[in-house]
């Protein structure tokens, strides 16, 4: 999920023609943090996602409009506890 979120942020940043530096400034994060998030090495908190979404001028739910990897979906379904 971290990689998918990072790809979303990257995609919207590019659509808005923003540099990582500008997105960092608008969201009050460091350039290093934005880079880590976009590459899927770090996942921001919900508050952090809201700050990034606001900086990108999109709704928070738009960042999470992602397809779940089929392999991850299988793993998650195996870990669900049965009643």
What pLDDT does 16 receive? 96
What pLDDT shows up at residue 80?
58
In angstroms, what CA-CA distances link 48 with 56, 70, 71, 76, 81?
A: 12, 26, 27, 25, 30
Q: What is the mean pLDDT of the chain?
A: 88
Higher pLDDT: 29 or 65? It is 29
| Residue 13: pLDDT over 80 | yes
pLDDT tens digits, one per residue of 45-69: 999 999 999 999 999 999 888 776 6
- Separation CA 44–CA 38 (nearest Å): 10
Tally helices (H) and strands (E) across the chain: 6, 0
């Amino acid at each position: 999920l971290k990689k998918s979120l990072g790809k979303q942020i990257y995609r919207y940043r590019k659509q808005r023609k923003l540099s990582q530096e500008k997105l960092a400034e608008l969201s009050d994060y460091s350039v290093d943090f934005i880079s880590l998030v976009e590459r899927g090495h770090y996942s921001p908190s919900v508050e952090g996602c809201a700050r990034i979404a606001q900086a990108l001028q999109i709704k928070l739910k738009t960042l999470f409009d992602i397809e779940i990897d089929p392999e991850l979906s299988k793993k998650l379904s195996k870990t669900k506890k049965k009643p």
